[in-house]
Amino acid sequence: MIDSILSFLAHGLLQASAPVLIVYVLVVTQLTIFSVTLYLHRSQAHRGVDFHPLIAHFFRFWTWLTTAMVTRQWVAVHRKHHAKVETAEDPHSPMVHGIKRVFWQGVELYRVAANDKSIEEKYGRGTPDDWIERHVYSRFPEAGPTLLALASILLFGFWGLAIWAIQMLWIPFWAAGFVNGLGHYWGYRNFESSDTSTNLSPWGLWIGGEELHNNHHAFPSSAKFALRKFEVDIGWVVIRLLASMRLAKVLRVAPALDLRPNVHLPDSETLKAVLTHRFRALTDYYRQVIIPTLRDEAAQASERVRAVPSRLRRALADGGRWLDGEGRARLQAMMERRPTLQTVLDYRARLLAALDQRVPEQALHNLQQWVREAEASGIAVLQQYAARLSAYALPAAG
């Protein structure tokens, strides 16, 4: 009798072996990741995909059971992050709160924002508001993890408690800390977006594709995060699988970009494409104009490009927006020694000003004028970029 009780306390009803426990942990934690990235993030927050009601409700139930997060609150906090990114109002920006605090205390920053009713009212609209949401999920969020703890102990005994603890830490660490922290601090960038977002890895396998964070910030409403041939988004694989079974409907993906031949001056099609692919246009400018100019001037001065600190090289992509006072002074000193680089940076600022014009006719006029002046600049890489920019177009429908 005592042996049976001890055996139950140690291993629960299932008496599962170590390999079974490991597989179980991997499965349930990935289900939680998919519930967050597919349902809360891509479907509810950004409306990039719709799921069959049964799938959607399973995701909603699973997030309640394993995270205690309320759909409306999560969506509101995330939408505010995009609306106020990298400002003092951003709920979890490393630029504001510091990387250590966001990485280790990201869940606390989330809770502060989630408890702010003004954020929920402004940014949480369009989320589920049915009977079970009002009377169970939103009213008793802590009941989910409590129920999960009891079930885990019943099934796996002492090891069930350890598994439950892992599940409770999974999203706070990987989402609130890892993505929100390192996803704005370390990694590579496909797009020079107006924030510090980065892709943590080109292979989004471990945390549902959320590793491709810079891609997401460039095209927030896209249901697909992988945008280059070598990138993999496992969340998108699951979406396509569900769509093939008519359990999901893709609403939006990042638009493609075409280049038209023999277009010598921007037209309305160019303007649409440039505004849609604003970050692509700025990324192309950085890679095709700024970096080659830096290399040429470094060669003329018998310097290596790497002699320029990496932080200053990265700052050339956004005009030094994220530099502190000392960094800005160093950037300005570098510009004074490189007049052509200063010129192409001035052209970048003027291009941004042209794209910020809200009246389409005036925006097109400004863009055309910018191209004319770039072509007359005498700077070869700037002339080549202006020709490429004029050829931008969105693919024809269908």
- List the structure tokens of 20: 């079974």
- List the structure tokens of 367: 């863009």
CB neighbour list of residue 102: distance below 8 Å, 6 or more residues apart: 92, 93, 94, 109, 177, 180, 181, 184
In this prediction, residues 242-267 reach a mean pLDDT of 95
**What string of DSSP letters covers 166-180?**
HHHHHHIIIIIIIII
Residue 176 pLDDT greater than 80, yes or no: yes
Residue 318 pLDDT greater than 70, yes or no: yes
- Out of 53-67, 85-99, 199-213, 306-320, pick the least confident: 306-320
pTM listed for this prediction: 0.91
**What string of DSSP letters covers 204-237?**
E-TTTTTTBHHHHHHSTT-S----STT-EEHHHH
- List, for residues 62-100, the tens digit of each pLDDT value: 999 999 999 999 999 999 999 999 999 999 999 999 999
pLDDT on residue 83: 96
- List, for residues 230-250, the tens digit of each pLDDT value: 999 999 999 999 999 999 999
**What string of DSSP letters covers 329-363?**
HHHHHHHHT-HHHHHHHHHHHHHHHHHT--SHHHH
Distance CA 71, CA 138 (A): 8
pLDDT on residue 84: 96
Q: Helices 291-300 and 339-355, interaxial angle, to 10°?
A: 170
User: Can you point out the beta strands (E) in 17-67?
Assistant: 49-51
pLDDT on residue 338: 87
Residue 12 pLDDT greater than 90, yes or no: no
Distance CA 92, CA 111 (A): 11
- List, for residues 151-165, the tens digit of each pLDDT value: 999 999 899 999 999
Q: Which of 140, 137, 143, 145 is nearest to 164 (CA)?
A: 145
- List, for residues 100-111, the tens digit of each pLDDT value: 999 999 999 999
Residue 340 pLDDT greater than 70, yes or no: yes
Residue 6 pLDDT greater than 80, yes or no: no
Distance CA 128, CA 276 (A): 30
Q: Is 98 left (phi over 0), alpha (psi -120 to 50) or beta?
A: left
Listed by start position, the domains of the chain span 2-250, 259-393
